[in-house]
Amino acid sequence: MNVRKIVTIVDETLTEGGRPVEPAARVAVVAAVIENPWAGQGFVENLTAGIDANASDLGALLAPRVIEALGAPVEAYGKAAIVGLDGEIEHGSALIHTLKFGNHFRDAAAAKTLLPAVEKRGPAGIVFDIPLKHFTDATIRSHHQTFEVRIPDAPHPGEIVIALAAAAQGRPQQRLAALSTEQ
């Protein structure tokens, strides 16, 4: 796995809707910009070798970093794979939609649910939104949120941005009724 750079973002919302957020709402993202393991090979029918060589190492690299950056227990989480223009969306999906990748984050966060994800292809500097859901129950509405990310120089055409996001809480000032009230 060739990692060109790692980007860490920590966002704290102190005020929402004109009211203080106490404690501050924290979201952290850690992204690795890697060389696409299938770049330059044309259409690759079987992606298993690239998955085996990279997915677990990426999860092991990113999971502890995002939890450390968050600095609080994880309550919501998500993931992203943004593929450069010379790759296929399937290349990013292959790396993040495997237990070899996701279990590193689930285990570190003591989570029970699947990680929500975004996958897309685009040029360097593309904006992408990482969806987050509650880490033990994806039906908890207060934790449904997205976090916008942009890495100005990534992905290059032969790269993939792989990212994990974690939040220490639900949306600031959330006020929606529980899903059970509509059933």
**Where do the domains of the chain lie, and which CATH numbers do they carry?**
3-182 (3.30.1330.110)
Nearest in space to 121 (alpha carbons), one of 149, 93, 83: 83
**Predicted TM-score of the model (pTM):** 0.95
Residue 180 is predicted with a pLDDT of 74
Nearest in space to 55 (alpha carbons), one of 40, 37, 67: 37
Nearest in space to 171 (alpha carbons), one of 137, 112, 131, 127: 131
What's the rounded Cα separation, in Å, for the pair 46 and 170?
39
User: Chunked in runs of 10, what are the mean pLDDT values of the chain (183 residues)?
Assistant: 97 97 97 96 96 98 98 98 97 98 97 96 98 95 96 98 98 84 76
Cβ density class 100-139: b for 16+ within 10 Å, e for less: bbbbbbbebbebebebbbbbebeebebebebbbbbbeebe
Residue 181 is predicted with a pLDDT of 76
Residue 21 is predicted with a pLDDT of 97
List the structure tokens of 33.
């910009």
Backbone angles phi, psi at 37, to 5 degrees: -65, -15
